[in-house]
Structure formats: structure tokens, C-alpha cells
Amino acid sequence: MNGVLLLNKPRGMTSHDCVMKLRRMLGTKKIGHTGTLDPDVDGVLPICIGSATKLVQFLTAKTKEYIGEVTIGYSTTTEDSSGEVLFEQPVVKNISKQEIDDIFASMLGTGIQIPPMYSAVKVNGKKLYEYARAGMEVERPQREVTIFELELLGEIQHIDGLVKFKFRIRGSKGIFIRTVALTIGEKLGYPAHMSDLTRIASGDFKLDNCVTLDEVESGDFKLLTISEALSDFSTVTVDNWVENLVRNGVKLRENQIFPQIKGEIFLIKGQDGTPLSIHEWSEKRQGYVSVRGLW
């Protein structure tokens, strides 16, 4: 069994839990997920199976899109609703749509995030949440992330000193939406946390195209082929001679690739449409070199 399964991950399970369950359901050990979703988060989780596990690094790098909810008025130890209350400050002013829109506009673009202590980011070989559970605080690595789109959804709710509203966000690989929610609160002058989150897209993979674990168990699912999973990649079809060079890991000359593609990774296919490898241009070697073989 080879291909990519678009799973609608349920809440209450880690991404690893889903992989373990799918291994039992599908009777194969060669399965990997393409980006961790917290247990309290549901939504799009592409799962690579069989030879498609070679795609994990490329599918992980895609942009992600979410619908989330932020609650203003108190923060938590985990930056989401599963943690213990950390700071409380009732919201005493009316927060307007214009104020939220202005804050969202100021957050667009590239900036620096510090991952939450309760996250799977590793420091000195240990995950941050392992330090957090042991009551230890360690210096967390900063990361550069980009927010491409951020918009308010629906009404702003003022309830008993709390303010809640939903938002849609599209961001780069590695962005923590919990931290985005925290930042929104800081810009409003109040503690905050992420109170709900669903991933609605991972690259071109949409929630509407995902299946549940129950559907997988009943056999009501279809795997994407490697070509379908990489449909947004530029593609070059080569003749049998060049295919032989690709399979043997030989650097390709400029005149062996048409159209010439520089500055991005791309997919090479054989004459029969078989995905062969992911290549890129190397200035150092002055030729096209393999990033990952797919046969």
C-alpha cells in the first residue's frame, strides 16, 4: 500500500496515536505523519504510507491554514484551554471590530516566535513539554515564521469579563497558533489563550477532502498517488536515457532538463509518468542534483 491519506484527525488523539492506529488498521508499519497536531486540535493531517513516506519532508514544509478561537481575559500554562489558569484580568473595555482588524493587519508578514513550553520542539534532545512537566524552564529557540493571512470571523462576544472571537489564519511551516492567540491578547493589553483550533488546510490539501478514522476502518477511503500529492510541484518529463542517469544518482546537465528550472525543487517523471525523483539546481556543482529519489 503506497500513497498519501488525507486524515481528518480527531480531537483527543496525538498525531502519533493516529499513526499507530492506522498501522493496525492498514496492516503496515511504514507510515508517517506530516506535521504534529496537538491532541486538542482536529483537522487536516496528511499521512504518508509505504513508498510515499519519502515525501514527508516536502509535505511538512507546506503552508497551513486554521480556524481558531481566542479567549481574552486569562492566560494558561499551555497557551490553550487544556492548561491551568496563569494570569487573569477581566476585560473592562469594549473591543471593536476595527481594533481587531488593525491588530491583525499589524501581525501580517514575517516575524519571530518563541515556541510554547508545552510543545514538541526539542532542546538538547528533549522535547520542551518534557521539561515543562518536570517543572523546568529552559531557554527556547526563536524561530522565524510568516503570517500570510489573518482575518476576523463572526461576532466579537463579550461575556462576564471575557472576550471571545474566531479567526482564520494562513501561516508558514512551524507557526504556533497558540502563540498567535497570546500575541493578540498582548496587543489588546490583556492575557489570552487559544480556546479552539481546527486545521482546515495543509498546502493544497483541504479538510473537505479528508476522511475519518472510522471511514478508513470501513474501507471507505482513497489514497493520493505520489504524483497527486505533489501536484503543485513543477514537473519535468525526461527520456529513457536521462531516466537511467537519475536512477544512478548522476548529476544532470542543463541541456538534459527542459524546461530549465532554477531556484526551486521540482519533480522528475519518466516517459510513462512514473515519479522518479525530486531535483534542484546546484550552483556549486553547476548541475541538477537529486534531493530525494522516489522509486
Q: What are the average pLDDT values for consecutive 10-residue runs of the chain, which has 295 residues?
A: 95 94 94 88 96 92 94 94 92 95 97 75 74 76 92 96 97 92 96 97 95 95 95 95 95 93 95 96 95 91
47: closest CA among 66, 70, 28, 65? 28
Residues 265 and 278: beta-carbon distance below 8 Å:
yes
Q: Which residues are catalytic?
A: 38
Residues 119 and 143: beta-carbon distance below 8 Å:
no
CATH class belonging to 3-62+204-229: alpha beta
pLDDT of residue 271: 95
pLDDT of residue 38: 87
Q: What cell numbers appear for 74 in the block?
A: 486569562
Q: What cell numbers appear for 264 in the block?
A: 526551486
The 10 Å Cβ neighbour count of residue 186 is 13
pLDDT of residue 104: 98
Q: Do domains 3-62+204-229 and 235-293 have the same CATH topology?
A: no
**In the CATH hierarchy, which fold is given to the domain comprising 64-202?**
Pseudouridine synthase (3.30.2350)
According to DSSP, the β-strands at 109-113 and 31-33 are: unpaired
> Across the chain, which distance is largest between two alpha carbons, in Å?
72
Cα(97)–Cα(95) distance, integer angstroms? 7
Q: What cell numbers appear for 139 in the block?
A: 531557554
Question: Domain locations in the chain?
Answer: 3-62+204-229, 64-202, 235-293
**Grid coordinates 514544509 are at which residue?**
61
pLDDT of residue 113: 83
Q: How many helices (H) and strands (E) does the chain have?
A: 8, 17
CATH number for the domain whose boundaries are 235-293: 2.30.130.10
73: closest CA among 174, 156, 170, 14? 156
Query: Is the peptide bond between 259 and the residue preceding it cis, with omega within 30 degrees of 0?
Result: yes
Cα(232)–Cα(236) distance, integer angstroms? 13
pTM to 2 decimal places: 0.89
- Phi, psi for residue 51 in degrees, rounded to 5: -65, -20
pLDDT of residue 119: 66
